[in-house]
Amino acid sequence: MPAEERRGGAGDPRFYARSGPHGLAEVARAAGGRTNATERLLHGIAPLQTAGPEDVSFLDNRRYLDALERTEAGAVIVHPDFAPRVPSATAAIVTAEPYPGWARVAALFHPAPPVRPGIHPSAVVGEGAMVDPSAEIGPLVVIGARAEIGPRSRIGAGAVIGEGVVVGPDCRIGPQVSLSHAILAERVTLYPGARIGQDGFGFAITGEGFLSVPQLGRVVLEHDVEIGANTTIDRGSAQDTVIGAGTRLDNLVQIGHNVRIGRLCVVVSQAGISGSTIVEDFVMIGGQAGLVGHLRIGRKARLGAQAGIMADVAPGAEVVGSPAEPVRTFFRQIAVLRRLARGEQPVGRHRGRKTS
């Protein structure tokens, strides 16, 4: 059994390459923090509960203060408020943002695998396609005619890149992705099984049945977008479906045709957004939320898990429930229902006749 498994460290070497060891000062710089401890070498990362003297850990939640006080980690990334609770044998790396610091330190010890330029012999590249020499094209990939694959991009095994698709620089396309009618900017990541650019759910109803409406738009994924495994994004009907810069979609999300999502939004697993809805910047949509079509969701709105969104949501609003309502209204109603279920009189109601 590898040493990392015996001591409970993160990053099984069968799956994750490791760099290092790294000195404490270098780790502190990566975390964006400071430390007054003596210099020491650190070999990896691990949770507080299992970390050893060669590991770095972190704390960003006061619920785990007991684990912090008992940890044997060589160094811990902590907020200044928690620094006094760090054991004397452990180096405190103090930063106002421990979790982003932890992310950078984890990437220091486990950097993303480098792109291996070249086209696998089993890949099929269509006529007129342009593949940058620095790109990596995996086994059984199909690249359609006139498609473009940008510098340092990686296309995973079995992915299908449709005709005319543009994949920008430094993109990561996972195994079994299908990508058509799409333009990808820089540093876009598509996780395995994502389906991007297929026909939208558009049809006319006639006396003889359903008549499919040609879907003539595209999908545009702006820079630093990440799309989770088995998520689907339909191309637009007459205009484009757009996912704004820095936005992240979880696994199993459905985005309908003509939807426009702004910058730095988050859409959690199994949520669905119907066609022609506009989601402004910095919106957060919880898991299994459902949005009907042709809505506008205002900037920085927060839609709770399983919310049923049937009307526009104002900027900054927080809504839950189905049909969705403001958070305070929803929980007041729940409280009233619980009192009624217990046979209690709702607050504000009085038995008997009012007297002066």
Residues annotated as catalytic are: 257
| CA–CA distances in Å: residue 330 to residues 143, 257, 286, 313 | 50, 31, 16, 15
Using CA atoms, how far apart are residues 198 and 145, in angstroms rounded to an integer? 17
CB atoms within 10 A of CB 28: 25
Write the single-letter amino acid at 154.
R
Scanning the structure block, which residue is given the tokens 């991009």? 153
**SS3 for 338?**
helix
Edge-to-edge strand ranges of the sheet holding 154-155: 118-119, 136-137, 154-155, 172-173, 189-190, 226-227, 248-249, 266-267, 284-285, 302-303, 318-320, 325-326
Give, as one character, the DSSP assignment of residue 196: E
Tokens describing residue 236 = 């637009």
